Structure 1
Amino acid sequence: MKIAATLIASVLGKAADYSQNGDNWTGTCATGQSQSPIKIDPSNTAEFVKQTTFEDFKVIGYDAPQTWSITNKGTTVQLDPQDSSAMELSGGFLGDDYNLLQIHFHWDKDATGLPTSGRQGSEHTVEGKNYQGEVHFVHIKKGITQSQLAGPGDLAVFGFFLEKDDSTSTKNWFDYTIENMIADKVRTKDDTTAEQLFGWSAAQMLPKDLDGFWRYEGSLTTPTCDEVVTWTVFETPIKMKAATFDMLTKSTGLALLPPTDPKIPSNYRNVQPLNGRKVDYYKKSKVAAPTEDKKKFATKVAFGTLPMSHKNPLTGEMTTKLQQVQKILLCFGEDEKLCMFM
């Protein structure tokens, strides 16, 4: 089928031209009636539907560390798991079971996150507010392959806003992932050369609070913009340091180009009309981030100081001093309180 052939190019294809943030794209991108991203406007009651029930997401395997490929796709960095089938998603009124296919990012290096910003940054907006960026967790319906993608709901995408926050000095897992695992590792490479990321789990990038989300039927936000996506956009953003955001926008090398270059250091698509579609909003107080029913282990990073002992080779005297450390820990149990160095 034609749509299947074009979808492969759309999901995994070459870099799109973002010189006009998608306004110059053709085909379904220009003629489709269920395009993404959109402006989420809760004040418009004709478009916005508030749901009074909530179904938890069930996520299996997101906490398990595995090997990932990091690829410079030209305008974004993409993470592909070695074993997509090991990560399963269901619930949340999706209606089907899905596997995590890949993770990628959208941004604008000059986005401020303010309504007055001339640059959008995030792809979706909420009541006119945009964020500095957006990360997409792309899931494929369980039991089908990319060559079989053909209809609405064959892909389910989780969208999380990225927001700069330097209010504290504490770094989170998103900061660690970008700064220590991605950073400039693929900046000078093309999409035929992938770097390997070992022992990282997708759950480490998720925010702690998934208390509310918007749901609508839409499309891929890159050409060929096929309308096969069930979108879930979460209202709680992922926080990141300003230095992390700077590293992210430079990860493809586009930030080094002049603003007049067709590959402008911006990779978001402008918002698209709803054309009569409804946006459902689901919220339940104190909904925890998705975890396995019985979490067995998780990886963490320890930052700070630890007492380190040293032996004087001449006198045999032992001394203990506090030293700065950054270690990866493997933690066990439901509360992850029993940890050991990897």
Structure 2
Amino acid sequence: MMPQSSLTCCPFVMFIVFVLLLISAAGFPVSDEAYPSSAFEHWIYGKSNLKGTSWNKWYANSGAWANLTGSSCGGKQQSPININPRSSVRKTFPKFRFHNYGNIDRMILMNNGHTAMYSLQRKFPKGRIPYITGGGLNGTYEFAQFHLHWGNDSTRGSEHIIASKSYPGELHLVHFNTKYGSFADATAHSDGLAVLGIFLKIGPGENPYFRPVVDQLGDVLQNHDETILTNLVSFKDLLPKQTTSFYRYSGSLTTPFCQQIVIWTVFDTPVEVSEKQMNKFRKLENLEGEHLVNNFRPSQKMHDRTVF
């Protein structure tokens, strides 16, 4: 508590204290670091003229993203791409090492009007945060969030395509390079993020490991709905059975402003889910109350890049 004499002689100090109390009462985070996942793909929703417009319309007119002020969407290292296995360069990478990829409790699920996003709670123990090494990555990449892309039916939905073939969905596990100290600082560097892309295809039955991911989607049907998952999510069981075979290239975020800061790993072995499980994503709603579907960016030009 401040002495009364200080309160009397320092009105400026009192003003600052009052402003800080207002900020605290309004529920604003003291630091963006409390919400690292919001800096990836989704922060733009509240900071540009995308606000007030459904993502369905923005995906339908994705060619105009390059015209946004400050956008990199017209750059020469854009994602996603149509991966051509015949023209890719064969290279041997060390095996991936997936650390703390076991059961994760009480994840946050949010419908942000663009996708279903899954992130860790703010006070998640530092020593239990998932991270990856190896796989040809230079350093340690810490988990930030995962989200999905899907179509209005199972004929399309994935962002990356293989030899012009689309999958019903694609899961993105997003990590940041810890050598930069924080997620926000990592996004300023060309090797700042490492994203694991996992194709989803329709199988004969439900995938039990995806139940924690889809079972509570009914709780977040509307834009900006949020809930806490009651069941554990096993990260290692979201991965394909074969993680030693993948495509690697340098690319970008797949929403505005499309910063070219992503090392992409796209596994060529898909994960099977049921049609019923995919349909639960298609029931989500966007800002305008429409079904949130076809939330994938079309393939971008390769230019002079190499896919390994």
> C-alpha separation between the residues in 2 aligned to 1:170 and 1:8?
32
> 1:147: how far off?
2.5
Partner deviation per Cα, 1:21-71 (whole Å, 9 max, x = no partner): 622213434421100000100223xxx2111x2311111111043221100
The AA in structure 2 aligned to 1:196 is: I
Choose 139-148 or 267-276, whichever is displaced more.
139-148
Paired AA for residue 268 in structure 1: F
Tell me the CA shift for residue 187 of structure 1: 0.6
Q: Which has the higher strand share?
A: 1
Match of 1:150 in 2: 188
Equivalent residue number for residue 269 of structure 2: 236
AA at the equivalent of 2:117: Q
- How many Å apart are 1:8 and its aligned residue? 2.9
- 1:138 paired to 2:171: no
CA contact (8 A) 1:77 1:252 kept: no
Q: Secondary structure at the match of 2:276?
A: helix
* 8 Å contact kept, 1:178–1:248: no
Matched letter for residue 86 of structure 2 = S
> What displacement does 1:179 show?
3.7
Checking the alignment, whether the CA contact within 8 Å between 2:213 and 2:233 is kept in structure 1 is no
Query: Which 5+ residue runs of structure 1 have no aligned equivalent?
Result: 1-6, 113-119, 259-263, 281-342
- Offset at residue 96 of structure 1 (A): 1.3
Of 159, 163, 166, the match for 1:123:
159
Q: Which residue of 2 aligns with 1:339?
A: none
RMSD value, Cα: 2.4
- Structure 2 counterpart of 1:104: 147
Deviation at 1:239, TM superposition (A): 0.6
Q: What amino acid does structure 2 have at the position aligned with 1:25?
A: W
20-29 vs 205-214, greater mean Cα deviation = 20-29
Using the alignment, how far apart are the partners of 1:178 and 1:66 within structure 2? 12
Question: Structure 2: any 5+ residue segments left out of the alignment?
Answer: 1-37, 46-53
TM-score normalized with structure 1 length = 0.68
Structure 2 distance, partners of 1:43, 1:228, is 26
Question: What amino acid does structure 1 have at the position aligned with 2:294?
Answer: S
Q: How many residue pairs end up in the alignment?
A: 252
Opposite residue 218 of structure 1, the aligned amino acid is: G
**In structure 2, distance between residues paired with 1:21 and 1:134:** 21
What is the deviation of 1:234? Answer: 0.2
The answer to whether residue 221 in structure 2 is matched with residue 187 in structure 1 is yes
Question: What displacement does 1:254 show?
Answer: 8.1
How many Å separate the matches in 2 of 1:270 and 1:215?
A: 19
